[in-house]
Structure 1
């Protein structure tokens, strides 16, 4: 089986995430994609929204995509989420499958800062989801796929909610309703 793994804080999950996952599935011929919400990213300073809220929003966002599922392994661990530890876990969980870890160009640009980054490349294939608008990436250590992107930012969504601005158009309707009902990201 060909499995893609897509990590992130998903704070909140938005259509840009879903679009990237679907495009990667098509480009790589993946059988399924596993979303891995991070407890705390080592490269982000601010703590994310509560784990249960982020999981609930992610479940709402992927509910209609039968090839997507969630692995909350990083959330159940203590401390910072290092991709290396997750890759070791995935190697143990899926030893006979082809494993592809999906990253964006922004993550690629910071890859040298990742914990044990050279060893990571030995544990699974890393795929850069390169935007058509980005400068082409040529790095033999990575698989690169070109895809159209939906330019949406979780940070901007959080900021707009805090400032009382409109965000309904940037979220799945059920995720938007969840955010409103739970007063997430408000000042």
Structure 2
């Protein structure tokens, strides 16, 4: 089986995430995609919303896609989530499958800062989801797929909610409703 892996804090998940996943699914001819919400990203300074809230929003956002699953292994671990540890776990869980780790151009640019990045390249096939207008990949060890990108930012969404600015157009309706009901990002 060909399995796409997509990690992140998803704080909050937005249509740009889902759009990228569906485009990668099509471009690579994947059998399924596994979303892996991080406990705490090593390259992010802000602590994410609670695991419960981020998981619930992710379930709402991808629940209608039968080829997208959620793996909460990283959330069950203590401390920072390293892709290397997750890769070891998933290679054990899916020993006979081809695993494609999906990243954006921003993650590609910082890849050499990743924990045990050279070993990761031996364990997984890394796919850079490149913007049509922003081709940056110059390393043959990475697969590149070009796709249109929805320019939506979780950081901007959180800031707008804190400032009382409209964000409904940047979120799945169920995710937006969940954020409102739970007063997320308001303070």
Scaled by the length of structure 2, what TM-score is found? 0.99
Q: Would the alpha carbon gap of residues 95 and 152 (structure 1) be closer, same or farther in structure 2, given more than 3 Å must change?
A: same
Distance across 2 between alignment mates of 1:137 and 1:24: 16
Match of 1:124?
124
RMSD: 0.6
Task: Find the residue that maps to 2:100 and give its secondary structure.
Answer: strand
Answer whether contact 2:105 2:136 (CA < 8 A) is retained.
no
Per the alignment, residue 171 of structure 1 pairs with 171
Structure 2 gap ranges (5+): none
Superposed displacement of residue 100, structure 1: 0.3
**8 Å contact from structure 2 (residues 4, 34) kept in 1:** yes
Task: Supply the distance in 2 between the matched residues of 1:159 and 1:130 (Cα, whole angstroms).
Answer: 26
Q: How far did residue 156 of structure 1 move?
A: 0.1
| Structure 2 match to 1:48 | 48
**Residue aligning to 2:13:** 13
- Displacement of 1:139 in angstroms is 1.0
Tell me the CA shift for residue 136 of structure 1.
Answer: 4.0
- 1:36 lines up with 2:64 in the alignment: no
Where in structure 2 are the equivalents of 1:104-183 lying within 5 Å? Answer: 104-183=104-183
TM-score (norm 1): 0.99
Query: How big is each residue's C-alpha offset from its partner over 1:158-178, in whole Å with a ceiling of 9 and x where there is no partner?
Result: 000000000000000000000
The 1-side partners of 2:144 and 2:85 are apart by 23
Structure 1 unaligned blocks of 5 or more: none
Task: Count residues in correspondence.
Answer: 187
Counterpart CA distance in 1 for 2:88 and 2:103 is: 17
